[in-house]
Amino acid sequence: MKQFIASVFLFFTVISTAMSHPADGIAVSSLKVEMLTNPEGIDVVNPKLSWKILAGPKETYQEAYQVLVATSPSLLSPDKADVWNSGKVSSEESINVSFDGEALEKDTKVYWKVKVWTNHGESDWSETAHWSFGLRYYKDWKGRWIGFDRAFPWEDISTFPTLGARYFRNEFDVNKEVKRATIYIMGLGLYELSLNGQKVGDAVLAPTPTDYTQNVKYNTYDVTAMLQGKAENAVGVMLGNGRYFTMRQNYKPYKIKNFGFPKLLVNLVIHYADGSKEVISTSDQWKGTADGPIRNNNEYDGEYYDANKEFPGWDSVGFDDSSWLQAEYVQEPRGNFEAQMNENMKVMREVAPISLEAIGGDRYILDMGQNMVGWLQMTVQGEKGDTVKLKFAESLQEDGELFMTNLRDAKVTDTYILKDDQQVSWEPRFTYHGFRFVEISGYPGTPKMEDFVGKMVYDDIKTVGQFDTSDPVLNQIYQNAWWGIAGNYKGMPVDCPQRNERQPWLGDRAVGAHGEFYMFDNARLYKKWLEDIRLAQKADGALPDVAPAYWRYYSDNMTWPGTYLMIAEMLYQQTGDISVIRENYPAMKRWLTYMADRYMNEDYIVTKDSYGDWVVPPPSIEAGTGQNADVKRPSALISTAYYYHFMEMMSEFATILDQQEDIPAYQHLKEKVHGGFKREFYQDGFYGDNKMTDNLLPLAFGMVPEGDRERVFDQVVETIEVKNRGHLSTGLIGTQWLMRTLSDFGRADLALKLATNTTFPSWGYMIENGATTIWELWHGNVAKPTMNSQNHTMLLGDLTVWFYEYLAGIKAGKDSPGFKTFELDPVFVEGLDRVKASFDSPYGTIGSHWERKGDQVIWKVQVPVNTTARVMLPPTATKEFTLNGETLPKGEVSITLGSGEYEFGF
């Protein structure tokens, strides 16, 4: 009897857990929570539905499906489904199937389930999932924006302002039986929402940051269970500054965008059992105050909390708010109101400290054992007025004090003032820090390690990849990368989490995002980032280096803004979601025209670049000691090579979108740029100044005429082997093409050498020097501290892509985006004895695990249900291949496999 386990998930959406119930013959499992955290309040009319067939016999393919959607779970049967019954549809598609029912009414919750037919029989109906459709149109929103558009006398809004949290509350009567209640909230910059004294949801630092003059994201919560029927209820909202009130950075040379004082719009929509409906919304009948315990809060300086200012019960019924002010009407933010489709941040992990040492006076140093992003929760007991300060840093100085200079002017300090002698447990709300060490001062009594818990905070997305090898250096690099990438997910990928910067710099992720995709379920985050970039485009076509463009850098170059194209390509390749190309193509086209118009000379050289191969390693550690790494070396070679590459990508995009008419112009320009590039930069067997990056880019982009390829590649090899004595000499740009190009030209062994080096410059060198994340600089241990973060992901380049796509060999097929058909094609590189990787694709887990046993290689692979793997067998002249113990015919180079687990030997 066949066993099936199917689970359904909704694109942009989650499903809650339920029980499984074996059915006759074929068992169907329960719903498992898949994909996004928040299925509520989406504003896409035709959401994409996806499901996963969790198990089945070998080579199982879906042949048909049927989806039911109804307004109540009890109506989920083929004859009753009142929203949509797809009927039995012959199709292998199980991912991104469009809901084709009628557009839902605003504020509607629907339930759905699916059944599949396969070549091995049919499943039972899956368990029930749901989504809800939110407030899509402006007219759907009731009430008005409230806030206080000013600072209060105890606040200071000069250069380093101290602006406290704003608190708002309202009580309302629910006099009938409640059927369903949903809260829609836009709370800027950050909010924490509570109902009847209880926090709603588990998000922190919500909503996701945007350029609020472009778009504002609303969050939706089903609060049916939290509302008191036939009783008085209370709603409370705290507002933090986040990226909205940003005067703290006013002194920046490129003035940072400040959006104003925090503000709020809430709609609580209550459906009563009798069919009537009521909306509780923000108005000047709400009460508010800025005179609460959070006296100051911002990302860079920390949170200042005075417990003496607490007002117990403020968010519950019956609180005396007579001393509070009436909420004031304020201007609404300019941006569009949109449902948030990417995940909010959450406390994702707890970290226990590894040591606590007294360093004199009342000061202690706590070591978390890991450079992490988030905050510290503290348990404390003392006297009224005792003031505990927690100050955060990534490393210590030789004298045991915190090393603060690389944080520049970020004050990174959380302050807590006790109100009485009761034991309390406290953590901040509207800040986060990048740290391994914490200086604790003013702690009453003697602190113990157990009094502190590290809270690691990042976007609520699953880790989907596992990677492990026989080499401990590679494994540690992978761990460091995981911590750095996760910690820097802040509703946008930021460059670093600790100093006074924390900006979503585009260039840092151009290629890294692709490797990250195998590690984290980050599709919605990067889709949101594409939107941030698109909305940051100027009317003339310019794209910024940072998006959302909080820092106003529109410096015009190919590499940073060009990340826009690379992220779109990556998402399309990895997910098959064509909308990422469709939605962004016109903006890309405008930008490329803008750049050509302004910066392309008559010989087709793009003359303008900004950063060059940013942060190349100095020639030696000695030469880099004390040196400023903030040196721009603009390179027309780089900008021109990228223009060429982007013309190629635009042709591909045009093909995907079936806009053939655009292609001739791209091809024409590509040819011209190719000619100009050769005339300008090609010497005899090398490009430009013969630096690694100068040669890597034309090789990687296919710009080197076939007859010259080996010669040019030999230059790269010689630079590494001879000049650099086995090391790389690439910065942010070159490293993005390094590992793959070396491997593509047959020198995976050299790539492995670079990846496992522990001498300068290398990732292993960072580890040798105590790194638990990836540094901003190859010489981060000795460089001048002004630009020297210890938790940047940009120098990973294409390393994580190489881990998954080359060492493990898992990759989406070039012509079949999205893993329905994928490739398994590892490089069984000499020098490694084992690589074990898996990637939880939307169809299920893809696994690749190879190991040397004597001179034999055993390679185990796992192919999910409803997918096909094209397995490439490594070229070997002498050996024969076996598959599950059976010898394969001679000369076999590739083999196609359906779902199941297989073992190759050779």
3-state secondary structure of 777: coil
**DSSP structural state of residue 27:** -
**Selection from 243, 248, 286 nearest residue 264 by Cα:** 286
User: Given the complex with ligand RAM, which of 451 and 613 has the nearer CB atom?
Assistant: 613
Tokens of 419: 């109100």
- State the pairing for strand pair 413-417/302-306: parallel
User: Given the complex with ligand RAM, which of 127 and 495 has the nearer CB atom?
Assistant: 495
User: Given the complex with ligand RAM, which of 170 and 503 has the nearer CB atom?
Assistant: 503
User: Given the complex with ligand RAM, which of 129 and 549 has the nearer CB atom?
Assistant: 549
Query: How far apart are the C-alpha atoms of 24 and 670, rounded to whole Å?
Result: 61
Is 674 within 8 Å of 605 (Cβ atoms)?
no
Question: H or E segment at 117?
Answer: strand 108-118
Minimum separation from the CB atom of position 805 to ligand RAM (A)? 24
Tokens of 133: 């459709």
Minimum separation from the CB atom of position 693 to ligand RAM (A)? 16
User: Given the complex with ligand RAM, which of 242 and 507 has the nearer CB atom?
Assistant: 507
User: Given the complex with ligand RAM, which of 560 and 585 has the nearer CB atom?
Assistant: 560
Minimum separation from the CB atom of position 413 to ligand RAM (A)? 23
Query: How far apart are the C-alpha atoms of 845 and 842, rounded to whole Å?
Result: 8
Q: b/e string for 764-802 if b means 16 or more Cβ within 10 A?
A: bbbbbbebbbbbbbbbbbbbbbebbbbbbbbbbbbbbbb
Minimum separation from the CB atom of position 370 to ligand RAM (A)? 21
Helices 636-656 and 563-575, packing angle to 10 deg = 40
Q: How far is CA 683 from CA 376, 688, 694, in A?
A: 56, 7, 11
User: Given the complex with ligand RAM, which of 585 and 611 has the nearer CB atom?
Assistant: 611
Query: How far apart are the C-alpha atoms of 155 and 595, rounded to whole Å?
Result: 45
User: Given the complex with ligand RAM, which of 447 and 761 has the nearer CB atom?
Assistant: 761
Minimum separation from the CB atom of position 733 to ligand RAM (A)? 11
- State the pairing for strand pair 263-272/129-133: unpaired
DSSP-assigned beta bridge partners for residue 794: none
DSSP string computed for 319-367: ---TTSEEPEE-PPPSSEEEE--SPPEEEEEEE--SEEEEEETTEEEEE
Non-local (6+) Cβ contacts of 749 within 8 A are 829, 830, 831
Tokens of 369: 């054992």
Minimum separation from the CB atom of position 763 to ligand RAM (A)? 17
Report the first-to-last Cα separation within the chain, whole angstroms: 34
What's the burial of 3, exposed, middle or buried (CB within 10 Å: 0-12/13-18/19+)? middle
Tokens of 783: 């460089």
Contacting residues toward ligand RAM, per CB under 6 A? 495, 501, 505, 507-508, 611, 614, 776, 792, 794
Query: How far apart are the C-alpha atoms of 750 and 834, rounded to whole Å?
Result: 17
Minimum separation from the CB atom of position 614 to ligand RAM (A)? 6
Is 57 within 8 Å of 108 (Cβ atoms)?
no
3-state secondary structure of 755: helix
Minimum separation from the CB atom of position 259 to ligand RAM (A)? 22
User: Given the complex with ligand RAM, which of 560 and 594 has the nearer CB atom?
Assistant: 560
User: Given the complex with ligand RAM, which of 115 and 792 has the nearer CB atom?
Assistant: 792
Minimum separation from the CB atom of position 885 to ligand RAM (A)? 51
Is 608 within 8 Å of 600 (Cβ atoms)?
no
Minimum separation from the CB atom of position 352 to ligand RAM (A)? 30
User: Given the complex with ligand RAM, which of 489 and 572 has the nearer CB atom?
Assistant: 489
Minimum separation from the CB atom of position 571 to ligand RAM (A)? 21
User: Given the complex with ligand RAM, which of 210 and 406 has the nearer CB atom?
Assistant: 406
Q: How far is CA 243 from CA 190, 333, 491, 502, 548, in A?
A: 8, 13, 11, 11, 10
Minimum separation from the CB atom of position 416 to ligand RAM (A)? 32
Query: How far apart are the C-alpha atoms of 388 and 364, rounded to whole Å?
Result: 11
Query: How far apart are the C-alpha atoms of 342 and 529, rounded to whole Å?
Result: 10
Minimum separation from the CB atom of position 508 to ligand RAM (A)? 5
User: Given the complex with ligand RAM, which of 531 and 776 has the nearer CB atom?
Assistant: 776
